[in-house]
């Protein structure tokens, strides 16, 4: 059975990818005087640049730097110019896992953020349910999760976690909608509808499929799809 998906590849990239166009760089990755003072506490170029890159990513898109991840060249140049470092120095920083972890811990204090807690995930799930009740659109559901986590001051979890929360929220919303649709339908009517899904040996298919295959049924189905 194929694994259920909430997001297509390009939708997942929109959530986690680092923007590299000029407007986004200026908007998201311009360092404040306070940022620069904090960055200057790191002594070497590669540490100052790596710390600055981590700071930027934890602000937007709101996640930590991945293991062996190298940001887009345009982003590295933009940040490096602000801290007076050579963009090439990042290669040395990327190899120092312990340093990255130490910087992440320090930046969580500086930025007043945290890893997503169980309460954060529950709030994200509630947001997903609310959005899914109005739209079945995967990106819209994921966007509501990301917005909720950011508003709560939480770093984004892995994209797979976001997708699992979204799938759960959509499944719950669908079940609630189903209950709403059938709660006032008499039991004998529901049983009659269920029998339409049973294979009728006299025609070799379900009555539901037989009705849909009839010329009139096809026209009604096409009209419903067009609407």
> What's the count of helices (H) and strands (E) in the chain, helices before strands?
13, 2
Helices 22-29 and 73-83: crossing angle in degrees, nearest 10, is: 50
Rounded Cα gap, residues 75 and 57, in angstroms? 10
pTM metric for this prediction: 0.76
Residue 1 pLDDT: 45
Residue 184 pLDDT: 75
Beta bridge partners of 154: 114
Hey, what are 196's tokens?
Answer: 């339409």
* Contact between residue 207 and residue 200 where contact means Cβ atoms under 8 Å apart: yes
Rounded Cα gap, residues 120 and 151, in angstroms? 10
For every one of its 227 residues, what pLDDT tens digit does the chain have, with 9 covering 90 and above?
446 788 999 988 888 889 999 999 999 999 999 999 999 999 899 999 999 999 999 999 999 998 888 999 999 999 999 999 999 999 998 778 888 899 999 999 999 999 999 999 999 999 999 999 999 999 999 999 999 999 999 999 999 999 999 999 999 999 888 887 777 778 777 677 677 778 878 777 887 777 777 665 455 555 555 55
| Residue 105 to residues 114, 179, 219, Cα–Cα distance (Å) | 9, 46, 62
Hey, what are 22's tokens?
Answer: 């000029």
């Amino acid at each position: 059975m194929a694994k259920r998906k909430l997001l297509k590849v390009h939708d997942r990239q929109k959530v986690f990818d680092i923007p590299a166009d000029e407007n986004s760089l200026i908007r998201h990755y311009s360092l404040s005087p306070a940022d620069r003072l904090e960055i200057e506490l790191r002594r070497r170029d590669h540490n100052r640049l790596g710390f600055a890159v981590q700071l930027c990513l934890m602000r937007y898109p709101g996640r930590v730097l991945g293991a062996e991840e190298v940001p887009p060249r345009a982003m590295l140049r933009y940040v490096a110019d602000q801290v007076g470092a050579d963009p090439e120095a990042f290669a040395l920083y990327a190899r120092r896992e312990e340093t990255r972890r130490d910087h992440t811990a320090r930046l969580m204090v500086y930025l007043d953020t945290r890893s997503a807690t169980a309460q954060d995930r529950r709030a994200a799930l509630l947001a997903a349910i609310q959005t899914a009740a109005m739209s079945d659109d995967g990106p819209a559901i994921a966007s509501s999760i990301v917005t909720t986590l950011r508003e709560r001051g939480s770093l984004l979890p892995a994209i797979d976690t976001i997708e699992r929360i979204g799938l759960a929220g959509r499944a719950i919303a669908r079940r609630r909608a189903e209950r709403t649709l059938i709660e006032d339908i008499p039991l004998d009517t529901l049983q009659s509808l269920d029998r339409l899904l049973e294979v009728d040996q006299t025609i070799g298919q379900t009555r539901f499929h037989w009705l849909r295959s009839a010329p009139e049924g096809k026209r009604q189905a096409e009209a419903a799809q067009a609407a």
